[in-house]
Structure 1
Amino acid sequence: MGINTYIFGASGHAKVVIDILLENKMSITAIVDDNPKTEMLLNIPVIPTSKFQPIEGICFLIAIGNNAIRKKIVTKNTFSFFNAIHNNATLSKFANLGNGIVIMPNSVINADATIGNHCIINSNAVVEHDCVLEDYVHISPSASLAGNVFVGEGTQVGIGACVIQGVKIGKWATIGAGAVIINDVPDYAVVVGNPGKVIKFNSNGL
């Protein structure tokens, strides 16, 4: 990437994204943040959004873990987006990837899996063959999706959760840490436990 490569968000999640990009020998011009708490992050300048002036040819990556905020940023801007894929990730040549995706160390994405735009596949996560992840999904560290799992837009699958093959998870749902999902999950549901049970629903899906 050239001199017009930017990251949006100066959080802890951004540190991991920066590490991936630097490992891939990519240059980062600056980080843009609505409310920056520092002027530098890992030796990269942080610019307040109010002072950021877009120029032609900018490429962006949103380094924010919150799915709803990522969608809000995307819908407000018309930038081009690029992917950050760690060198230690295992990625099938038959996987299908969208734009603005972050794939972290030791994660696995197998054949004919489809990863939508602005998804996060976190460290040690597994997305098996023929899974479909819609836009803005976050698969947390060490979570595992067996084959043919569908995950709707904006859903978060919590750390260490397991989803058996063929399950359909709706949009803007939350799968709790360590949950074991053996049945389909409706839109906006919050599911915890083993086996997973719906305990409430997210307000407005966010």
Structure 2
Amino acid sequence: MENPVIIFGANALGQAAKEIFESNDIIVYGYLDDNEELHGNELGELSVLGRTDDDGHLKLIGKKCEGFIAVDDRALRKGIVKLLKERRKKMPVNAIHSNTEIAPTAHIGHGEFINSGVVIGANAKIGDHCMINSNALVDYSAQLGDLVQVGAGAVVGAEAQIGENVFIGSGVTIVPGVKVGKNVRIGAGSVIIADVGDDKTMFGNPAKEV
């Protein structure tokens, strides 16, 4: 990536993304955020330039800059993705820490946040706009749908299939081959040993619906 990056979201996630880009010697131009109290302020050495829908800065995306979305709220993230696609005909770039291990045969989508120490195995498939936090493992041939969040130290076993919009807490273990439906939430430290249907909240070892 040659162009500098504008980060959508002047929050802790945005600042973590900034460090990821800098670990790859990529320049960050600044932040956009809808909290007007932050506008004109500096976080570290970077300025909060304006709102996420500011045309003056959006017009730079795809020309002089790239965009990355650092927003935890998945509905808001989807809205900003739609904005970029409609106004700029662009998808957000990936923030992948230099200290990761990604197999050459793995498929990585768009707009990913992949932090330090993450391992993604052979033939794994990561959907768009996922967040994979520090030291998580996505083992070989596992699949993550779009907008999946994987907590620090979590393990997604080989050939497991995770639906879209799933939250996997820190330290979770999903055993190999398990299928997890869409919109599922899995509490920290839980162990998933059997298939989980859509829209469930799971917790415990072994995990049960709560």
What TM-score does the superposition give when structure 1 sets the normalisation length? 0.90
Could you tell me which of 69, 78, 83 is aligned with 2:76? 69
After TM superposition, the structure 1 stretch with the greater mean CA deviation from structure 2, 29-38 or 155-164, is 29-38
1:182 and 2:193 aligned = yes
1:86 and 2:97 aligned = yes
Query: Retained in 1: the 8 A contact 2:81–2:92?
Result: no
- Stretches (4+) displaced over 3 A: 1-4
Query: Retained in 2: the 8 A contact 1:93–1:111?
Result: yes
After TM superposition, the structure 1 stretch with the greater mean CA deviation from structure 2, 81-90 or 64-73, is 64-73
Q: Distance in 2 between matches of 1:185 and 1:68?
A: 23
Q: What corresponds to 2:161 in structure 1?
A: 150
Identity of aligned pairs, percent?
A: 35
Q: Distance in 2 between matches of 1:130 and 1:36?
A: 44
Deviation at 1:71, TM superposition (A): 1.7
Query: Retained in 2: the 8 A contact 1:127–1:144?
Result: yes
Aligned length: 199
Deviation at 1:82, TM superposition (A): 1.0
Task: Kindly report which structure 2 residues correspond to 1:17-36, keeping only aligned pairs within 5 A, or say none.
Answer: 17-36=17-36
Unaligned runs of 5+ in 2: none
Amino acid at match of 1:6: I
Q: Distance in 1 between matches of 2:139 and 2:36?
A: 37
How big is each residue's C-alpha offset from its partner over 1:95-151, in whole Å with a ceiling of 9 and x where there is no partner? 101111111100110000000111111101000000111111111101101101111
After TM superposition, the structure 1 stretch with the greater mean CA deviation from structure 2, 37-46 or 137-146, is 37-46
What TM-score does the superposition give when structure 2 sets the normalisation length? 0.89
Q: Give the superposed CA RMSD.
A: 1.6
Q: Distance in 2 between matches of 1:71 and 1:182?
A: 30
After TM superposition, the structure 1 stretch with the greater mean CA deviation from structure 2, 177-186 or 67-76, is 67-76
Query: Retained in 1: the 8 A contact 2:103–2:120?
Result: yes
